Amino acid sequence: MIRMLPLLLTFLSLSLQAAETMDPLQFFEKVRGNYVILIAGTQVPKEDNKLGYVTVESEEGLIVLPYCHKTGGVCDPGFRSFPTHQTEIIVESYEPNDTQYTLTVTDADGSRKYVWEERNGVIHFLDESYTLASGEAFPLEFIMEKKQPVPPIP
């Protein structure tokens, strides 16, 4: 057992890197693009709600992921704003193809936390305190893939 301890410690150090902070503009530049939503909450979204996107401006990142509640009738276009001066991003890498970004936005209303995790090309985005217009709050997860750009026609 003692002989295996160095091997175990090496494995652990390779599997879990120390958490680091990341500049919000750098994060949003990295993930900018269009996404196909595979799962929204616990369901497959309808065709008109399957596309989301991430964009960045000089002082703000924006994640847009539409969501329609499973009971029907309530649909949200899903705009989430991340002002760079109010957003902290913590990065944790677990393996070469598994990185988690924890985004915390702090403003006059308090803090909101989101998790963006990349696992082998699949993105998991968690809005930890999503709130419906009715006031009902719950964690809302999206599973999605980055949409590949269509090559230009020659």
How far is residue 19's CA from residue 101's CA, in Å, rounded to a whole number? 9
Question: Cβ(97)–Cβ(118) under 8 Å?
Answer: yes
How far is residue 129's CA from residue 6's CA, in Å, rounded to a whole number? 41
Residue 2 located in a structural domain: no
How far is residue 40's CA from residue 52's CA, in Å, rounded to a whole number? 11
Residue 125 located in a structural domain: yes
Q: How confident is the model at residue 137 (pLDDT cuts 50, 70, 90)?
A: confident
Residue 104 located in a structural domain: yes
Residue 39 located in a structural domain: yes
Residue 7 located in a structural domain: no
CATH of the domain at 68: 2.40.128
CB neighbours of residue 44 within 10 Å = 12
Any idea what the Cα angle at residue 66 is, between residues 60 and 67, rounded to 5°? Answer: 130
**Which of the pair, 138 or 10, is modelled with greater confidence?**
138
pLDDT value, residue 94: 80
Whole-structure pTM over 0.85, yes or no? no
- How many domains in the chain? 1
Q: How confident is the model at residue 74 (pLDDT cuts 50, 70, 90)?
A: confident
pLDDT tens-digit map of 56-70: 998 999 999 999 887
Residue 126 located in a structural domain: yes
Contacts of 5 (CB under 8 A, 6+ apart): none
Task: Write out the residue range of the structural domain in which residue 52 sits.
Answer: 19-146
How far is residue 125's CA from residue 93's CA, in Å, rounded to a whole number? 16
Question: Cβ(98)–Cβ(117) under 8 Å?
Answer: yes
pLDDT value, residue 150: 63
pLDDT tens-digit map of 12-29: 444 445 679 999 999 999
pLDDT value, residue 14: 43
Residue 5 located in a structural domain: no
Question: Cβ(78)–Cβ(53) under 8 Å?
Answer: no
**Which of the pair, 146 or 153, is modelled with greater confidence?**
146
Residue 68 located in a structural domain: yes
